[in-house]
Amino acid sequence: MSLQLVIVGGGPAGVQAATTAARLGAQVTLVERDVVGGAAHLWDCVPSKAMIATGERLGDVAGSSVLGLRSEPATVDLEALRSRLLELSAGLERRNVDLLTSQGVRLVRGTGRLVDAHTVEADHQGQLERFTADAIVVSTGSRPRVPDWADPDGMRVLTTRDAYPPPELPEHLVVVGSGVTGVEFVQMFSSLGSAVTLIVSRQQVLPGKDPEVAAVLEEDFLGRGVALLKGARAVGVTDTGDGVVVQCEDGRRVEGSHCLLAIGSIPNVEGLGLEAAGVELDGGRVVTVDHHMRTNVPHIYVAGDVSGKLPLSSVATMQGRKIAEHVMGLHQVDHRHLDYDKAASAIFTDPEIADVGLAEADAFAVGRKVRVTKVPFASTARALIDGDPRGFVKIISDPATGVILGGSIVGRNAAELISVLAVAVTNSLRVTDVAESLFVHPALSEALTDAAE
Ligand SMILES: Cc1cc2nc3c(=O)[nH]c(=O)nc-3n(C[C@H](O)[C@H](O)[C@H](O)COP(=O)(O)OP(=O)(O)OC[C@H]3O[C@@H](n4cnc5c(N)ncnc54)[C@H](O)[C@@H]3O)c2cc1C
């Protein structure tokens, strides 16, 4: 008889675990309480990047005179944008459902919880159904973190889930949190026409990122009129009826029409019956797992944001795939552990920012000798053709062996271009492997070969 796999949560992690395991011969049941495709499709990756794409096109039209075009100023149609986001999410869900059903996955709508270590119960509007499992994957994602000093109402005080898009563009949005999510929302709303103030708790946006990279973004933000309130820690937000006031620890106050909280997320571990199944939680919030994403109960796995590892859709998907392979015994044949230090990531600002592997600052912090080569996109014909010479490619390599350890890219299509360096870092390629590859001309990727020389 086939192995019975039951998955609770159908985001990128759950869907990938389901399709891979089904393809490998498991009998899979996936329990999802909301949208198949998860928060990633409904609130996170997809709508945020869709709104950024709209703002980007608006900017392209406004800046098109450089390419020899004359155009009327474009304006934003919020209703059309809202419909587009809903259609995107619905279309992606349809695609996921088709994929799952075509592979024989049993899709159960309802809220799942573990009754014991081998039983999952799904509750669909009070109708309970139980499934017996040889292995269980918990992939229930995460939700926005709300500080105890704020009470988001979805009208003026927003979490990232309330902002797609509001009925009217905020006149003046105050964004609390200058990490990846915060700066993407600054990008989104400033490019659509809102005035934006960003509260930055440290002295640079994107704390922890290469200062040279953060500087390019700050310059762009300031250039488009975004106010940066640095060294400011928000401690309160008040809805004044026709606006908001955000209070900072040092007494500074920022007035705006809306406030958006972008201060991280917390794993969804509550109400899942993990304790009943014998799964240990670390500090009550994070499930402890080994490198196969197994909990202390070896046939119960966690994947995606709920694992408390790197909260990226790409990572969630890969974890789902690795778990399915492990459940089906494939890891004994050919298995590479997930190395989170080698995950590429991108920030969809303008210009885009992407990096992978070792950062220059981290190498210096631990006294590691590295070779750093940096080439501006302005040196490529493509950047000049596109009329956008901003940004650069930076490659970090081992001076003795030439092995590529990491890299950062700032500029147009950085999120695509970083893939070259991701392959290099994952497979320990040397700079010469990149330098001697025949890339396309004219293309931005030529900056990569130049930086690898
Ligand atoms: C604003 C924003 C933008 C982002 N942009 C990007 C990006 O561009 N690229 C990127 O890689 N990452 C991005 N991320 C991160 C990415 O969204 C998450 O890492 C990803 O969604 C995690 O996938 P997951 O499968 O763990 O969970 P989710 O996508 O959260 O899916 C979990 C699913 O589990 C379901 N569920 C929960 N509890 C139960 C239950 N008890 N029973 C049944 N179902 C349940 C939920 O309904 C949900 O469908 C972004 C995050 C945010 C906040």
Query: Does the beta carbon of 139 lie inside 6 Å of ligand 1?
Result: yes
Mean pLDDT of the chain: 95
**Residue of 42, 106, 140 with the most ligand 1 atoms within 8 Å of its CB, for mutation:** 140
Query: Dihedral angle at the C-alpha atoms of 111, 116, 119, 124, nearest 10 degrees?
Result: -20
For residue 224, the model assigns a pLDDT of 93
What local confidence, expressed as pLDDT, does residue 331 receive?
75
**pLDDT given at position 447:** 98
What pLDDT does 284 receive?
Answer: 74
Instruction: Evaluate whether 99 touches 112 at the Cβ level (below 8 Å).
Output: no
Q: Which two tokens stand for residue 200?
A: 């930055």
Q: What is the mean pLDDT of residues 27-46?
A: 95
Q: Which residue did the predictor score with more confidence, 183 or 331?
A: 183
Q: What is the pLDDT of residues 235-244, one digit of tens each?
A: 999 999 999 9
Of 336 and 5, the structure prediction assigns the larger pLDDT to: 5
- pLDDT, one tens digit per residue, over 80-101 is 999 999 999 999 999 999 999 9
In 3D, which of 391, 394, 410, 406 has the Cα closest to residue 352? 410
Average pLDDT (226-236) is: 97
| CA of residue 330 to ligand 1 center, whole Å | 26
Residue % of the chain over a pLDDT of 70: 99
The whole-number pLDDT of residue 1 equals 82
pLDDT of residue 167: 76
pLDDT tens per residue across span 274-292: 999 999 988 777 788 999 9
Instruction: Look at residue 171 and give its three-state secondary structure.
Output: coil
Mean pLDDT of 333-360: 92
Atom of ligand 1 nearest to the CA of 306: 26
Nearest CA to ligand 1 atom 19: 312
pTM equals: 0.95
Is residue 336 predicted with pLDDT exceeding 90? no
Residue 368 has pLDDT above 90, yes or no: yes
Widest CA span in the chain: 67
113 CA distance to ligand 1 centroid (A)? Answer: 18
> Would you say the CB of residue 312 lies under 6 angstroms from ligand 1?
yes
Q: Give the span between the Cα atoms of 92 and 94, in whole angstroms.
A: 5
Q: Which residues of 62-100 are buried (b: 16+ CB within 10 A; e: fewer)?
A: eeeeeeeeeeeeeebeeeebbebbeebbeebbeebbeeb
311 Cβ closer than 6 Å to some ligand 1 atom: yes
Ligand 1 close to Cβ of residue 13 (< 6 A)? yes
Which pLDDT value is given to residue 300? 98
- CA 11–ligand 1 middle distance (angstroms): 6
Q: For 195-227, what is each residue's pLDDT tens digit?
A: 999 999 999 999 988 889 999 999 999 999 999
Predicted pLDDT at 451: 98
What's the 216 CA to ligand 1 centre distance in angstroms? Answer: 29
Peptide bond into 351 cis (omega under 30): yes
**Distance between terminal CA atoms of the chain?**
56
Find out whether 186 and 228 touch, Cβ atoms under 8 Å: no
pLDDT band, very low/low/confident/very high, at 108 (cuts 50, 70, 90) = very high
Q: Residue 72 pLDDT > 90, yes or no?
A: no
> Is residue 8 scored above 90 in pLDDT?
yes
Cα-Cα-Cα-Cα dihedral of 124, 85, 391, 383, to 10°?
Answer: 130
pLDDT at residue 286 in the model? 79
User: Which residue's structure tokens are 């990756």?
Assistant: 45
The beta strands (E) that lie in 110-233 are given as: 111-116, 119-124, 127-132, 135-138, 142-144, 157-158, 172-176, 195-200, 227-230
Q: How confident is the model at residue 138 (pLDDT cuts 50, 70, 90)?
A: very high
> What is the CA(376)–ligand 1 centre distance, in A?
35
- State whether the beta carbon of 273 lies less than 6 angstroms from ligand 1: no
Residue 183 confidence (pLDDT) above 80: yes
* Confidence at residue 168, expressed as pLDDT on a 0 to 100 scale: 83
- pLDDT for 164 equals 79
- Write the CB contacts of 381 (distance below 8 Å, at least 6 apart in sequence): 441, 442, 446
Section 55-79 average pLDDT: 90
Nearest atom within ligand 1 for CA of residue 15:
25
311 CA closest ligand 1 atom index = 19
pLDDT digits (tens, 9 = 90+) for 157-170: 999 999 876 778 99
Residue 92 in contact with ligand 1 by CB distance below 6 A: no
Region 181-197: mean pLDDT is: 97
Tokens 């999952």 -> residue:
120
Pairing of strands 371-376, 392-397: antiparallel
Q: Please name which of 441, 440, 401 lies closest in space to residue 424, comparing C-alpha atoms.
A: 401
HEC-encoded secondary structure of 356-375:
EECCHHHHHHCCCCCEEEEE
Which has more confidence, 66 or 106?
106
Looking at residue 349, its pLDDT comes to 96
Residue range 382-404: mean pLDDT, rounded: 96
Q: Which of 157, 154, 147 is nearest to 258 (CA)?
A: 157
CB of 181 sitting under 6 A from ligand 1: yes
Give the residue among 139, 185, 145 at the shortest CA–CA distance from 265: 145
Burial (0-12, 13-18, 19+ Cβ within 10 Å), 451: buried
